[in-house]
Structure 1
Amino acid sequence: MSAGEATGVRPGFELDAVTLRDWMAGRIDLSDAPLAISQFSGGQSNPTYRVQSGDRIFVLRRKPPGPLLKGAHDVLREARVMGALGDAGFPVPRILGVCEEPDVAGTAFYVMEHVEGRIVWDPATDLQAPSDRRAVFDAMNATLARLHSLDVEAIGLGDYGKHGGFVARQTALWTRQYQADEEAGRNTDMDRLVDWLATRDGLSDETSVIHGDFRIDNLILHPDQSEVAAVIDWELSTLGHPLADFAYHLMMYRLPVHLGGLAGRDLTAIGIPSEADYVEAYRLRTGRDALPDLDVFVAFNMFRFAAIIHGIRGRVIRGNAVSPKARKRADEFPELARLAWAQAQRAGA
């Protein structure tokens, strides 16, 4: 597993190598060498570390130090879903140990295997051959379809979240967040979306395990083959509507390049399947006759995305988020809201 490059441990995030080694030695076969610990540059929400013992490498993921909101940064929940999925044969890093007490690392954590492979941020540039892009997209599609086809009760995750009503609950949540942040301001496109989504009560209602942030940079690809070696970053996973999860993933086709999407690129030339072909592959793999209301699910996801950026915009205005990246995101909010409303119109708003 990888979450960017592993560098020195950031101040305030240090681990006691001796205490950690003693804990790991009781659960994992270690060499006699002391642990070498570095921190991945990603994993900002839940700090993630590279831990090496001799020639064996592990990954440790922990709650951040300091006061936390109730239910936030639940790494034990991540460990649970990954353990259950791994037992079901789904490609995730193998969980090797879980610690609920703060005595070892200061906060709860888990240790998993390190999966060797490739992390792709932009498939158009990070994958060199059109044939590799085509095969990677097919593997990505197959992996998400496989996740959504798992029986939640059979794999022991029937209580991992609420059954049914996912889109309605999420719409209500992000509507409250958007409307409560007065300093970030209101937006006509967002207001239209709020009203329109509130009337989408005729959607199909299904429940599966959903990843919540399934995109190519949350996959580890096999080092030499166009296969998914592991799916990582399960922090947003829950029980939800599989088509909402797929539509979030599908946003890559409808967002422009400067917002991290593929819209405007010559997909045929670079070997990436068209959106229509990608949707059809998912439909066939999940055994569906059709994918009803897919445009509604895309509009919902773009609304949620815009609402998150609206929150960042509010923090920038209040001076609580001053990084250039946050400011850039805040400036993108009006365009995201416009694109989200365009998806609603495409769905028949």
Structure 2
Amino acid sequence: MTNLDDTFSGTKDVAEALRFNEAALLDWMKANVEGFSGPLRVGQFKGGQSNPTYKLETPGKAYVLRRKPPGKLLPSAHAVDREFRVMSALGAQGFPVPKMHGLCEDPDVIGTAFYVMDFIDGRIFWDPYLPSIDPADRARIYDSMNETLAALHAFDPERIGLGDYGKPDAYIPRQIARWSKQYKASETHTIASMDRLIDWLPDAAPEQDRASIVHGDFRLDNMIFDKNEPKVVAVLDWELSTLGDPLADFTYQLMQWRTPKEMRNGFLGANLKELNIPDEAAYVEAYCRRTGREGLPQLDFYFAYNLFRLAAIVQGVYHRSTQGNASNAKAREYGAMVEPMADYAWSFAEKAGN
């Protein structure tokens, strides 16, 4: 059985299509990163699909560089400038993100825009079943994730300098329109259930009752845990972050409990009590308690919406792989995942009253 943590953790030699002028980067870092001293060794992280991410090692310190991928990109995608901005603002509030060192939007340096941040030496778990973790710590890992997301949703965007980071209202209708457009721009063949969802979702969207900062891709492998404690020390991959409906953010993570193991390694049908992983009801209760909610209505709609959105994202990854500029070698395998996700999303749409 493949060990996902071994497969996606660590670094590798930089892929040919994702190499850049390391001497130019060295000059930029000398000029822009306080306390920087070379020489510089560059490796590419194995994991990640959207924005290529590199480990920069020097004799005294390690950094991380995250960049837009080369090649023709979908409109508004790969917004590394937004990642840099939101993490800078949240870091100033004590929220767990890496320290930001600099943003470069000049494509003449390494070919695309990029930013540099601290390397956080901790643990990233790619397998949500946490097979390498003592069962006693599994529940605490998920509770730390829950607590971290609730804390994110508690920030007043205006107060921390992110009041103009996005339009706070009508988040889901805008997301449906955006991902419908992105999906059509990367469509490689007709998927009937995706077309049905594009037609159905706009009129079915519930009213938004709150607005917050939303991460947009909050899941286990987008965070770093302390090397010894079951505690989140950094949340990564803010490319899809904006202002919007916190329930869309929370239910995106909650899909883990509603999807089968063969689809994004979900928990559906798993013996969570034996694994010491909280069940869906317990996870929802903890989030509601932390955010002052009495419960979560219309979950079937949210699952349909989030699975549709995920299918559109995965289609984009697959489409980029056909052009040779996706950042993970497994990206080409993603094409086969889109239709089952879309069909499953439509099954929730039918439950929601289609």
Which TM-score applies when normalising by structure 2? 0.86
Residue identity matched to 2:11: A
Paired residues of 1:18 and 1:34 also in contact (CA < 8 A): no
Residue identity matched to 1:329: Y
Report what 2:66 is aligned to: 61
Measured in 1, the distance between the counterparts of 2:187 and 2:232 equals 43
Report what 2:3 is aligned to: none
Alignment counterpart, residue 227 of structure 1, candidates 231, 235, 238: 231
Report what 1:87 is aligned to: 92
Q: Deviations over 1:145-178 (max 9, x none)?
A: 1111111101111111122111112223344556
Residues 95 and 177 (structure 1), Cα distance of their counterparts in 2 relative to 1, 3 Å cut: closer
Residues 143 and 127 (structure 1), Cα distance of their counterparts in 2 relative to 1, 3 Å cut: farther
Q: Within 5 Å, which residues of 2 pair with 1:231-246?
A: 231-246=235-250
Measured in 1, the distance between the counterparts of 2:200 and 2:163 equals 31
Measured in 2, the distance between the counterparts of 1:97 and 1:314 equals 30
Deviates more, 1:200-209 or 1:109-118: 200-209
1:99 paired with 2:104, answer: yes
Paired residues of 1:166 and 1:241 also in contact (CA < 8 A): yes
Q: Deviations over 1:166-205 (max 9, x none)?
A: 1112223344556788862242x44553444232254234
Residues 177 and 13 (structure 1), Cα distance of their counterparts in 2 relative to 1, 3 Å cut: closer
Query: 1:294 Cα deviation (Å)?
Result: 2.8
SS at match of 1:156: coil
Query: 1:311 Cα deviation (Å)?
Result: 6.2
Residues 293 and 204 (structure 1), Cα distance of their counterparts in 2 relative to 1, 3 Å cut: farther
Report what 2:35 is aligned to: 29
Measured in 2, the distance between the counterparts of 1:37 and 1:183 equals 34
Paired residues of 2:96 and 2:235 also in contact (CA < 8 A): yes
Measured in 2, the distance between the counterparts of 1:126 and 1:158 equals 41
Measured in 2, the distance between the counterparts of 1:199 and 1:160 equals 26
The answer to which structure, 1 or 2, has the higher relative contact order (CA under 8 A, 6+ apart) is: 2
Report what 1:207 is aligned to: 211
SS at match of 1:209: strand
SS at match of 1:96: strand
Measured in 1, the distance between the counterparts of 2:137 and 2:74 equals 42
Residues 35 and 147 (structure 1), Cα distance of their counterparts in 2 relative to 1, 3 Å cut: same
Query: 1:92 Cα deviation (Å)?
Result: 0.5
Residues 125 and 116 (structure 1), Cα distance of their counterparts in 2 relative to 1, 3 Å cut: same
Deviates more, 1:46-55 or 1:190-199: 190-199
Measured in 1, the distance between the counterparts of 2:225 and 2:301 equals 31
SS at match of 1:117: coil
Q: Which has the larger radius of gyration?
A: 1
1:256 paired with 2:260, answer: yes
Residues 265 and 344 (structure 1), Cα distance of their counterparts in 2 relative to 1, 3 Å cut: same
Computed over aligned residues only, the root mean square deviation of the Cα atoms, in angstroms, reads: 2.9
Residues 181 and 99 (structure 1), Cα distance of their counterparts in 2 relative to 1, 3 Å cut: closer
Query: 1:288 Cα deviation (Å)?
Result: 1.6
Report what 1:114 is aligned to: 119
Alignment counterpart, residue 157 of structure 1, candidates 143, 149, 162: 162
Residues 158 and 280 (structure 1), Cα distance of their counterparts in 2 relative to 1, 3 Å cut: same
Deviates more, 1:15-24 or 1:162-171: 15-24
Paired residues of 2:89 and 2:161 also in contact (CA < 8 A): yes
Q: Within 5 Å, which residues of 2 pair with 1:1-349?
A: 4-26=9-31, 27-31=33-37, 33-176=38-181, 184-187=189-192, 189-259=193-263, 260-309=265-314, 325=330, 328-349=333-354
Paired residues of 1:243 and 1:294 also in contact (CA < 8 A): no
Share of identical aligned residues, percent? 49
Residues 22 and 243 (structure 1), Cα distance of their counterparts in 2 relative to 1, 3 Å cut: same
Measured in 2, the distance between the counterparts of 1:126 and 1:206 equals 36
Residues 288 and 125 (structure 1), Cα distance of their counterparts in 2 relative to 1, 3 Å cut: closer
Residues 244 and 55 (structure 1), Cα distance of their counterparts in 2 relative to 1, 3 Å cut: same
Paired residues of 1:120 and 1:127 also in contact (CA < 8 A): no
Paired residues of 1:253 and 1:261 also in contact (CA < 8 A): yes
SS at match of 2:204: coil
Measured in 2, the distance between the counterparts of 1:59 and 1:179 equals 33
Query: 1:269 Cα deviation (Å)?
Result: 0.1
Query: 1:35 Cα deviation (Å)?
Result: 1.5
Paired residues of 1:175 and 1:194 also in contact (CA < 8 A): yes
Measured in 1, the distance between the counterparts of 2:338 and 2:73 equals 27
Residues 142 and 336 (structure 1), Cα distance of their counterparts in 2 relative to 1, 3 Å cut: same
Paired residues of 1:184 and 1:314 also in contact (CA < 8 A): no
Q: Deviations over 1:99-120 (max 9, x none)?
A: 2323433332211111011110
Residues 124 and 68 (structure 1), Cα distance of their counterparts in 2 relative to 1, 3 Å cut: closer
Residue identity matched to 1:55: G
Residue identity matched to 1:284: R
Residues 180 and 256 (structure 1), Cα distance of their counterparts in 2 relative to 1, 3 Å cut: same
Query: 1:60 Cα deviation (Å)?
Result: 1.4
Residues 273 and 327 (structure 1), Cα distance of their counterparts in 2 relative to 1, 3 Å cut: same
Q: Unaligned regions of 5+ residues in structure 1, if any?
A: none
